[in-house]
Amino acid sequence: MEFLSLIQELNQGKQLANQLRNHLHPSSSSHGILLVDKILRSYENALLALSAGGGASVNSAIAPVNAAVKDGDVSKKRKLMAKWSEQVKVSSGSAVEGPGCDGFSWRKYGQKDILGSQFPRGYFRCSHRFTQGCLATKQVQKSDNDPTIYDVTYRGRHTCNKALHSTNTPQEHQNSLLQHPIPPKQEEKPLQQLHDPLCFMFSSDPIRVKSENLDNANGGLLQPFCPPSPMFGSEVQDDQSPFRESECSLTFESNDTFGLCCDFETGFVSIPSSMTNISIGDLEEYCSFDNLEMFC
DNA sequence: GTGATTTGACCACG
DNA sequence: CGTGGTCAAATCAC
């Protein structure tokens, strides 16, 4: 568990550095941005070093997660469920209540004042939780420093057929096209986003993710990575898919590093070595985002 | 009337 | 024991 704490701490540091970079005005200090970039790189290197050296420990630490999820143990699931966060900037005049729509249909189930935070945290779950058993949740909280920025923490991945049939108003739907995690326009989310977990999908650079579920003792049996659900075809409207025009390239990492190339023109994912081509649908079938920790 | 939101209470975790 | 996360009854909006 120590490893996990360490990794979480590093990830948090990286996120904060990202936030700092976001706050730096491009014209103000290019030197400052360079420094932040260096800090980010240090975090990434540290995470990579950890992932290379401590994979087995992390794997064993993660093992109970799967059991907890399978057993439907909600309390353990809460603690261990895949979690990632991002910052959403809300333009003036829109979404005063918070980042309303990210392409999914959310239902608010709670709000809580958080110690040390100026603004309350809102708790949302997928509207399809009961109809389709979708366990995705998110937490939304205004940033203390900048009320136009919301910290959004997602948990679990969507298993629902989703938001295409949501009850969003047309206005909300329009907002959704400008917000996250479904494709932000790249110019709206600057460089920083390319390093965020949810944004690798827009990057042409290989990104690194780490599967916690690789059983290295078992000959490194690979479990394909599945990113947050919005990026896969069935859940992304055609005209929103960031993959339509080009290939994406992902790099998985366990003790063995390997690459994954998604060609969304053909709908095939190719994985070098022993794995054969599989379709996007198959990939989604196989993978479990809940078991993964991102290192991008 | 139905579905969404609010809010106080409860529970799990550290 | 304090805090964060979830539940569920009451309330609100359409």
Residue nearest to nucleotide B11 (CA to C1'): A75
User: Would you say residue A281 lies in a domain?
Assistant: no
The A 155-214 residues near strand B by Cβ under 7 Å are 167
Interatomic distance A199 CA / B6 C1' (Å):
33
Please report the pLDDT score of residue A109 as a whole number.
92
Please report the pLDDT score of residue A182 as a whole number.
38
A156: left (phi over 0), alpha (psi -120 to 50) or beta: left
User: Would you say residue A126 lies in a domain?
Assistant: yes
Instruction: At A43, list the tokens.
Output: 């975090």
Closest nt to A79 (CA→C1')? B13
Distances from the Cα of A3 to the Cαs of A164, A274, A290, in angstroms?
A: 39, 30, 18
Say whether the CB atom of A171 is under 7 angstroms from strand C: no
Please report the pLDDT score of residue A121 as a whole number.
92
Residue nearest to nucleotide B13 (CA to C1'): A79
Interatomic distance A96 CA / B7 C1' (Å):
20
**Cis-peptide into A181, omega within 30 deg:** yes
Say whether the CB atom of A111 is under 7 angstroms from strand B: yes
Closest nt to A113 (CA→C1')? C4
User: Would you say residue A79 lies in a domain?
Assistant: no
Please report the pLDDT score of residue A157 as a whole number.
73
User: Would you say residue A224 lies in a domain?
Assistant: no
Interatomic distance A273 CA / B3 C1' (Å):
51
Please report the pLDDT score of residue A116 as a whole number.
86
User: Would you say residue A166 lies in a domain?
Assistant: yes
Please report the pLDDT score of residue A197 as a whole number.
34
User: Would you say residue A50 lies in a domain?
Assistant: no
Interatomic distance A13 CA / B9 C1' (Å):
35
How many domains are contained in chain A?
1
Closest nt to A83 (CA→C1')? C5
Q: For residues A173 and A189, what is the distance between their CA atoms, to the nearest angstrom? A: 19
Please report the pLDDT score of residue A89 as a whole number.
63
CATH number at residue A123: 2.20.25.80
Widest distance between CA atoms in chain A = 55
Span A141-171, pLDDT tens digits: 888 777 778 888 888 777 776 544 443 333 3
Please report the pLDDT score of residue A87 as a whole number.
66
Q: Which domain holds residue A162?
A: 90-181
User: Would you say residue A7 lies in a domain?
Assistant: no
Say whether the CB atom of A110 is under 7 angstroms from strand B: yes
Please report the pLDDT score of residue A198 as a whole number.
35
Per DSSP bridges, beta strands A247-253 and A207-211 are parallel
Interatomic distance A16 CA / C5 C1' (Å):
23
Angle at A234 between CA A232 and CA A237, to 5 degrees: 90
CB distance A149 to A89 below 8 Å: yes
Instruction: At A164, list the tokens.
Output: 């295409």
Residues in chain A, pLDDT under 50: 1-2, 53-77, 92-100, 163-296
For chain A, the three-class secondary structure string (H helix, E strand, C coil) is CHHHHHHHHHHHHHHHHHHHHHHCCCCCCHHHHHHHHHHHHHHHHHHHHHHHHCHHHHHHHHHHHHHHHHHCCHHHHHHHCCEEEEEEECCCCCCCCCCCCCCCCEEEEEEECCCCCCCCEEEEEECCHHHHCCCCEEEEEECCCCCCEEEEEEECCCCCCCHHHCCCCHHHHHHHCCCCCCCCCCCCCCHHHHHCHHHHHHCCCCEEEEECCCEHHHCCECCCCCCCHHHCHHHCCHHHCCCCCCEEEEEEECCCEEEEEEECCCCEEECCCCCCCEEHHHHHHHCCHHHEEECC
User: Would you say residue A176 lies in a domain?
Assistant: yes
